[in-house]
Amino acid sequence: MGKNKAYLNCLQRDEAQALWRKRLSDSGYFEGLPAEPLPVTAALGRVTARTVYARQSVPHYNGSAMDGIAVYAPDTYGAQETAPERLTLLPAGAPFAPGGCYMVDTGDAMPDGTNAVIMIEDVHIAEGKAEIIAAAAPWQHVRIIGEDIVAGELVIPEHHVIAPVDIAALLAAGLDTVAVIKKPKVAVIPTGDEIVATRAELQPGAILDVNSHMLAAAVTEWGGEAVRKTIVSDRREAIQQAVVESLAESDMVIINAGTSAGREDYTAQVLSAIGEVLVHGVAIKPGKPVVLSLCQGKPVIGLPGYPVSAMLTAELFVRDVLLARQKLPPQAPPQMEAALAKTVASTIGMEEYVRVSIGDVQGRWIAAPLSRGAGMMSSLTKAQGIIRVDRGSAGLPAGLVLPVTLLRKHRPARTILAVGSHDLALELLGLFLRRRLDNISLSCANVGSMGGIMAIRNKEAHIAGIHLLDEPSGCYNIPFVKKYLPDRKGGLVHLAMREQGLIVRPGNPKGITGFGDLARPDLAYINRQRGSGTRMLLDYELNKAGIPAAAITGYDKEVGTHMAVAASVASGTVDTGLGVRASALALGLDFIPVAQEQYDLLLNFLPDDDCQPAIIDILQSAEFRREVESLGGYDLRDAGRVIPL
């Protein structure tokens, strides 16, 4: 618990990258790389260590380039239409005699004595003779030796990534093995007393080591050979020993976690003892506690422990170094422009990176920011792109068009952005949609029903799931659409009637029966966020029952999804919360129904988009209804009905 918050130095990202690259370069890390011979047939994707010269010419013999007859050109001089020449057909293998010729197919070796080919179409063959009506120039229709590649010529330059066509050329040019740059070996050392290797050891307070697997996979993608080491405890000597051992057998060492200055932080100390720490702390968010060092002429990198931070800093400080160590150019992932779906706040002085989903909403590319916590693994899996907020900026306004760096090699052709209230049925809709339309995906951002309506109004989403109860009319959704989207004439489609209820621990140990119990002093409640339909339902019911919000312990603790409510109850930290039955069922909890509410979808597609009819069709299908109803607490008898506005 040493609370020393000071980083050795805290550089800007670009300064850190430049210093890092320069010092590695100065140390000769990118020169004189070790090579290994490989069979050409096993060298796909590898990088040549040296220029490769042909050992054999291609073609390796003079061959006919046509089907026809092989002749000695001077024998044909004088042949013309009015005075055809007749050559004697010699059997294959017979010695050449003046005035003779041989039948040849494309690719056949030219028989000794011949030096030209006449196409079969221009020859009349009869009675063992070939009649020709034009002279042949020497070497016509002959592929001469070395026409393609000459022995001694360069076949492939050094530092060239071997593609399938290169394998063919190398083999044809007489090479069976090729010297390639050895894959750089990268040791990945997970550290931390709280980190465990197996699920069996996973007690509260323990964290499964997933980062070392993620980083090893990234190293593999970047052409390195990753070696995952066993987990090292938060002891200085243990970490030092692990680094020293890894240095002996690796070209690069990554230490994960233990880099924050605010906790058991031995990484920087250890690396200062073994080598030179060049950078400790970079003004980026997430990822600040990164440590970059040079030990025994090799890079040793301390990456932060949170997965989002670890991945980002690996992309910034590991990837290009690893590529350069293979003589590969830095990766320049493709970029595109998109409009920000919502305002992104940022800290001046820190360069911030925010992961986003990207979708084309009515012809405009929208980047929807995902959860920003450094521990949010879901933001890593859902992200299709990443945006950077410059260090001079206090944030980016919604609607700003900005460059998005794309993260996935295989990006779905279309992403449907679903923004609004969360429901498991939406995930199932995504699944059915993928089966119906090629190459599509559904990305859900859970911002509550009102957030969904606003996203539709700003043309920042394709779908909003809403369940908003209008208190005066007791009517769901329509009054809100009419109020906030007055010009809208369609696109509201019913999905389900669903039960809302109080989620309680199995057996309902606290004997909760309904809203009336929520003010009991022995109960802890977990709430949903403002603007969500569930929150509105609660407020409506509390109002009806005359219960003040302040009387409920936990009213001000908000979570963003039904499942998070259920998880809070399951953990025992709260006694109850309002949510749908499906989320209670998923975690084996009990459920006290208190209301049935109308969950509808607001759709936002161009008239000719095939997505809207597909969605309605899916909602009306028996398969979809069956699958959603099997989650429990849903009534889909009217699913897919278009609600008049």
Q: Which of 23, 86, 129, 159 binds a copy of itself (CB under 8 A)?
A: 159
One of 86, 129, 213, 457 touching a copy of itself (CB under 8 A): 213
Any alpha helices (H) in 202-257, and if so which ranges? 211-221, 236-249
In order of 63, 101, 112, 119, the CA distances from 96 in angstroms are: 16, 8, 7, 19
Among residues 335, 381, 360, which one has the least CA distance to residue 605? 360
**164 or 392, CB closer to a copy of itself?**
164
What one-character DSSP code corresponds to residue 109?
Answer: B
Q: Which of 196, 244, 380, 478 lies at the binding interface for a copy of itself (CB under 8 A)? A: 380
The mark string for 295-314 relative to a copy of itself (x by CB under 8 A, - otherwise) is ------------x---x---
Site for a copy of itself in 517-546 (CB under 8 A): 524
Stretch that binds a copy of itself, among 171-179, 385-393, 495-503, 528-536 (CB under 8 A): 171-179
Structure tokens at 586: 């998923």
- The span of 37-45, 359-367, 503-511, 537-545 binding a copy of itself (CB under 8 A) equals 37-45
Interacting residue with a copy of itself among 274, 519, 559, 643 (CB under 8 A): 559
- In angstroms, give the least distance from the CB of 213 to a copy of itself: 5
298: burial class by Cβ within 10 Å (0-12, 13-18, 19+)?
buried
Q: Which of 35, 227, 238, 377 binds a copy of itself (CB under 8 A)?
A: 377
For residues 461 to 500, the per-residue mask of contacts with a copy of itself, x marking binding by CB under 8 A and - elsewhere, is ----------------------------------------
Q: Cα separations (Å) of 585 from 448, 566, 631?
A: 22, 9, 8
Shortest distance, CB of residue 455 to a copy of itself, whole angstroms? 20
Residue choice 80, 296, 378, 596 for contact with a copy of itself (CB under 8 A): 378
CB of 392 to a copy of itself, least distance (A): 26
Site for a copy of itself contains 567 (CB under 8 A): yes
* Cα 490 from Cα 619, distance rounded (Å): 16
Residue with tokens 């090699």: 409
**Tokens encoding 275:** 């080598």
Residue from the set 174, 399, 479, 632 that interacts with a copy of itself by CB under 8 A: 174
Site for a copy of itself in 44-103 (CB under 8 A): 44-45, 51, 57-63, 67, 74, 103
| 492-504 and 634-635 strand pairing | antiparallel
Q: Considering only residues 35, 207, 244, 645, which one is a binding residue for a copy of itself as defined by CB under 8 A? A: 207
- Cβ-based nearer residue to a copy of itself, 443 or 598: 443
3-state secondary structure 43-96: CCCCEECCCEECCCCECCCCEECCCEEEECHHHHCCCECCECEEEEECCCCCCC
Where on the phi/psi map is residue 633: left (φ > 0), alpha (ψ -120 to 50), or beta?
Answer: left
Compute the distance between CA of residue 80 and CA of residue 97 in angstroms, rounded to an integer. Answer: 22
Beta pairing class for 335-340 and 116-119: unpaired
Among 153, 237, 390, 471, binds a copy of itself (CB under 8 A): 153
Rounded least distance, CB 484 to a copy of itself, Å: 29
Q: Which one of the spans 163-171, 181-189, 272-280, 345-353 is the region binding a copy of itself (CB under 8 A)?
A: 163-171
Q: Which stretch binds a copy of itself (CB under 8 A): 389-397, 430-438, 479-487, 592-600?
A: 430-438
Residues 568-627 that bind a copy of itself (CB under 8 A): 568, 570-571, 573, 583, 586-587
**Minimum distance, C-beta of residue 605 to a copy of itself, in the bound complex (Å):** 20
How many residues belong to the site for a copy of itself (CB under 8 A)? Answer: 125
**What distance in Å separates the CA atoms of residue 608 and residue 631, rounded to the nearest whole number?**
33
Nearer to a copy of itself, 227 or 400 (CB): 227
- Tell me the sheet residues that pair with 601: 465, 493
DSSP string for 348-388? TTSEEEEEEEEEEETTEEEEEEPP--TT-HHHHHH-SEEEE
Least distance from C-beta 350 to a copy of itself, angstroms?
18
Q: Does 376 bind a copy of itself (CB under 8 A)?
A: yes
Output the six-digit token pair for 237.
């000597």
- Residue 610 CA to residue 11 CA, distance in Å, equals 50
| Pick 565 or 619: Cβ nearer a copy of itself | 565
- Could you please report the per-residue DSSP string of 294-363? EETTEEEEEE-SSHHHHHHHHHHHTHHHHHHTTTPPPP---EEEEEESS-EE--TTSEEEEEEEEEEETT
The least distance separating a copy of itself from the CB of residue 497, rounded to whole angstroms, comes to 21
State how far Cα 276 lies from the chain centre: 34
Residues 329-348 that bind a copy of itself (CB under 8 A): 329, 334
Token pair of 412 as six digits: 């779905």
144 CB-contact burial (10 Å; exposed 0-12 / middle 13-18 / buried 19+): middle
Does 21 engage in binding with a copy of itself (CB under 8 A)?
no
Over the window 219 to 258, marking each residue x when it contacts a copy of itself by CB under 8 A and - when it does not, the resulting string is -xx-------------------------------------
On whether the CB atoms of residues 442 and 573 are closer than 8 A, the answer is no
Interaction residues for a copy of itself, span 381-420 (CB under 8 A): 381, 383, 407-413
